[in-house]
Structure 1
Amino acid sequence: MLALRAICACLVAVVAIYTLVVIGREGLDLITPFFGGVLAMTWQGQFNVDFSAYLLLSTVWFLWRNAFSTQAWVFAPLVCVGGILVFGCYLIWLSFRVRGRMDVLLLGPSRVAP
């Protein structure tokens, strides 16, 4: 569990720093470059579509793991749009909440036998 927490913390830190540099250089307009690459059918667009699929899949897992609760639906847009900045922090927090039990972390408390 320590390795998972360390990897998530490193990924969050790297992406946060990179994001701050990009915002400083290019501003907050993410939508135009993101969809510009997709509409242009470039490799950058291919990456954007592939990355979006990962974001969607992680959001579906988040919703499923939390039994599609109202609280999960409230946080799902943050998980989907926030990427590793949100998802990594969630996994770190969750790893402490489940006290290191990987089965509970992956499946949720309602799906794990006592």
Structure 2
Amino acid sequence: MRAFQLLVSILLVAIVGYTAITIDRHGWDLLPIFFGDIAKMNWPGQFNFDFLGMLILSGFWVSWRHRFSPIGIGLGLLALFGGVLFLSAYLLVASWQSRGNVSTLLLGPDRTR
């Protein structure tokens, strides 16, 4: 679990730094570029479409883990729109809360009792 926590910590720090530099250089105008590449049917668009699928699955999993409660749906939307910036922080906190129990981490605390 420590290696996993180290990995998500590194991802969190890296994406925060990368995002800050990107926003500084290009502004906040992500969505038109993201969906524009998908509409062009090229390799960057294919990557974005694949990534969008991963974001949807991530959001669905987070919502499911919280039994689709209002908070769970809100966290799922954050996962969908926040990507690894949200998910790395979420997994870091959830891994601490699970105290090393992988089943609890993946399924949620009330599914492993």
Describe the SS at the equivalent of 2:28.
coil
Please name the residue that 1:97 is paired with: 97
Equivalent residues of 2:59, 2:75 under 8 A apart: no
- CA drift of 1:32 comes to 1.5
Please name the residue that 2:88 is paired with: 88
Structure 2: gaps spanning 5 or more residues: none
Structure 1: gaps spanning 5 or more residues: none
TM-score when scaled to structure 1?
A: 0.94
Please name the residue that 2:67 is paired with: 67
Q: Greater relative contact order (Cα 8 A, min sep 6): structure 1 or 2? A: 1
The CA distance in 2 between the partners of 1:31 and 1:111, in whole Å, is: 36
* Aligned-residue RMSD, C-alpha: 1.0
- CA drift of 1:89 comes to 0.3
Equivalent residues of 2:12, 2:89 under 8 A apart: yes
Superposed, 1:27-42 pairs within 5 Å as 27-42=27-42
The CA distance in 1 between the partners of 2:74 and 2:53, in whole Å, is: 20
Please name the residue that 1:55 is paired with: 55
In percent, how many aligned pairs have the same letter? 39
Q: How many residues align?
A: 113
Please name the residue that 2:111 is paired with: 111
Please name the residue that 1:9 is paired with: 9
- CA drift of 1:79 comes to 1.0
The CA distance in 1 between the partners of 2:11 and 2:20, in whole Å, is: 14
The CA distance in 1 between the partners of 2:31 and 2:96, in whole Å, is: 34
Letter in structure 1 aligned against 2:31: I
Residue by residue over 1:44-71, the C-alpha shift from the partner in whole angstroms, topping out at 9 and shown as x without a partner, is 1000000000011111111111111111
Equivalent residues of 2:61, 2:76 under 8 A apart: no
